[in-house]
Amino acid sequence: PAGVYNMINGDGPNVGSVIASHPDVDMVSFTGSTRAGILVAKAAADTVKRVTQELGGKSPNIIFDDADLETAVTSGVMHMMGNTGQSCNAPSRMLVQSSVYSEALKIAEQAASTVLVDQPSKEGEHLGPLSSRVQFDKVQHLIKEGIAEGAKLVAGGSGKPEGLETGYFVKPTVFADVNN
């Protein structure tokens, strides 16, 4: 029936807590940060509703020198770009053995350069926009912060991709030499 399942985008502390505390909501499934998940769980406690959560994933790819480097690095970059990088299991870090590090950076740069960014209404595989202005601003801040902290920008960077000035589009971005 209508209204049994509703998907609502928003931040956990504000939107998630309101939904979780509402007496007419029987169950909440939340994906987001650990901090927001704690708030959602606390808000749901008063109405003793069921809560399922997927929180704070930072899934590293660990790549040794005996790996198929092309496949490992390209797959890692492409999986990170899936769902505009907003998946709980997005492989947001790549830990690469030093003997193949330089080659891995070249492969990562090439992989990121092949990622198409376009409108979500278009068919085919491409990176769509982020979910909100708040999320866009957060990602832009993180990109600028990474640069300010000395990370090497391998691909992408701050700002919007050329031709996509309207919407919350982000350049496919890869950093190296990040302070983990």
Looking at the chain, the domain(s) classified CATH 3.40.309.10 span 60-176
CB atoms closer than 10 angstroms to residue 53: 20
pLDDT means per 10 residues in the chain (180 residues)?
Answer: 81 84 92 87 93 83 97 94 77 94 98 94 89 91 96 96 94 92
User: What pLDDT does residue 170 have?
Assistant: 95
Token pair recorded at residue 147:
């640069």
Residues acting as catalytic residues: 54, 88
Cα separation of 35 and 51, whole Å? 15
Strands annotated E in 90-140:
93-96
Domain 60-176 has CATH 3.40.250.10: no
Identity of the amino acid at 69: L
Q: pTM, whole model, 2 decimals?
A: 0.76
